[in-house]
Amino acid sequence: MLDLYNVKKTFNLGTINEKQALSGIDFYLKEGDFVTVIGGNGAGKSTMLNAIAGVWPIDEGSISIEGVNVTALPEHKRAKYIGRVFQDPMMGTAADMGIEENLALAIRRGKSRTLRWGITKEERERFHEDLKILGLGLEDRMTSKVGLLSGGQRQALTLLMATIQKPKLLLLDEHTAALDPKTAANVLELSDKIVAEHNLTTMMITHNMSDAIHHGNRIIMMNQGKIILDISGEEKKKLTKADLLQKFSEVAGVSEETDEILLS
């Protein structure tokens, strides 16, 4: 379903800040897979998701989604296939526009923007029902500006926006990292619920190892622009935090104490 072949990306090539962020990623994701992505700061996790979403072109390799080679497609054209939630709650919504207006923009993801009215009556009714699922009471304030919402509310809304038109691929980049623990747990639970309900193929970056272990059916670990660990199925179910730390030191060849620092 998602196919990355030898994907490479170097930032600031030829300058003193040159940084190879992806050094040849090969990665295949099955339809319906929910993979969690872990790794230290700067390992290249966000860069991999950005490469898939088409934020900038990659230097080498190819990316295809459901057999369609998207390597040369700009971000707005790939949006047809991809729903995204970012780490920063401000990033996924338009603050000066209403809740229903944001949803109306999202339900047209990947469609051409015509001169038809921007939101229909049927859509409003649907949004009302969908917002109820979030359990935040947003269905009663659909015309409120999104800028008035809290970080957690905005993140839940972004999640709904990313999935209201079923994406082939859902990309979550530390989407609960900026929230307080309780809100983070709620948004994460909501993510699980939505992913399960629509059987969405999902990649979720997290810096929380137990979240990575307890969600999804597959886990990958990145280090220095490479995938250094890939565990799925039964093995993933039995995985513990200690296992992960140990595997990391085996593969990356560093002591377990540094891993704690890197991965926590």
Partner 1 sequence: MNVLAYFASLDPMNFMGAIPGNVAQGLIWGIMALGVFITFRLLDFPDLTVDGSLATGGAVTVVLILAGIPSPLAIAVAVLAGVLAGLVTGLLHTALGIPGILAGILTQISLWSINLIILDGANKAVNVDKYSLIVSLRNVTESIIMVLIFAGIIISILYWYFGTEQGSAIRATGCNPNMSKAQGINIDNMKVLALCISNGLVALSGGLMAQYQGFADIKMGQGAIVIGLAAVIIGDVLGEAIFRKGMNFSIRLTFVVFGGIIYYLVIGLVMWLRMPTNMLKFLTAVIVAIFLAVPYLREKRKNSFATKSKREGQKNA
Please answer whether residues 127 and 142 qualify as being in contact, where contact means their C-beta atoms are separated by less than 8 angstroms. yes
30, 111, 214, 237: residue in contact with partner 1 (rule CB under 8 A): 111
Name the region of 225 (left: φ>0; alpha: ψ -120 to 50; beta: rest).
Answer: left
72 versus 261: smaller Cβ distance to partner 1: 72
- Which partner from the list ligand ADP, partner 1, Mg ion, none does 43 bind, CB cut-off 5 to 8 Å by kind? ligand ADP
Shortest Å, Cβ 66 to partner 1? 17
- Sign of dihedral through CA atoms 119, 167, 83, 53? negative
Shortest Å, Cβ 259 to ligand ADP? 15
CA nearest to 182, candidates 146, 217, 155: 155
CB atoms within 10 A of CB 264: 10
Which 43-102 residues touch ligand ADP, going by CB under 6 A? 43-47
CB burial string 166-184: b at 16+ within 10 A, e below: ebbbbbbbbbbebbeeebb
4, 21, 244, 262: residue in contact with ligand ADP (rule CB under 6 A): 21
Query: Is 15 a binder of ligand ADP (CB under 6 A)?
Result: no
List 39's β-bridge partners, or say none.
222
109 versus 226: smaller Cβ distance to ligand ADP: 226
- Which partner from the list Mg ion, ligand ADP, partner 1, none does 61 bind, CB cut-off 5 to 8 Å by kind? none
Q: Report the alpha-carbon distance of residue 134 to residue 194 in Å, rounded.
A: 10
- Which partner from the list ligand ADP, Mg ion, partner 1, none does 19 bind, CB cut-off 5 to 8 Å by kind? ligand ADP
Please answer whether residues 105 and 94 qualify as being in contact, where contact means their C-beta atoms are separated by less than 8 angstroms. yes
Shortest Å, Cβ 216 to partner 1? 22
101 versus 130: smaller Cβ distance to partner 1: 101
95 versus 261: smaller Cβ distance to ligand ADP: 261
- 3-class secondary-structure state, position 110: coil
Q: Report the alpha-carbon distance of residue 155 to residue 184 in Å, rounded.
A: 9
Shortest Å, Cβ 110 to partner 1? 4
Give the binding site for ligand ADP (CB under 6 A): 11-12, 19, 21, 39, 41-47
Give the binding site for partner 1 (CB under 8 A): 53, 75-77, 79-80, 82, 84, 86, 91-97, 101, 104-106, 108-111, 113-119, 161
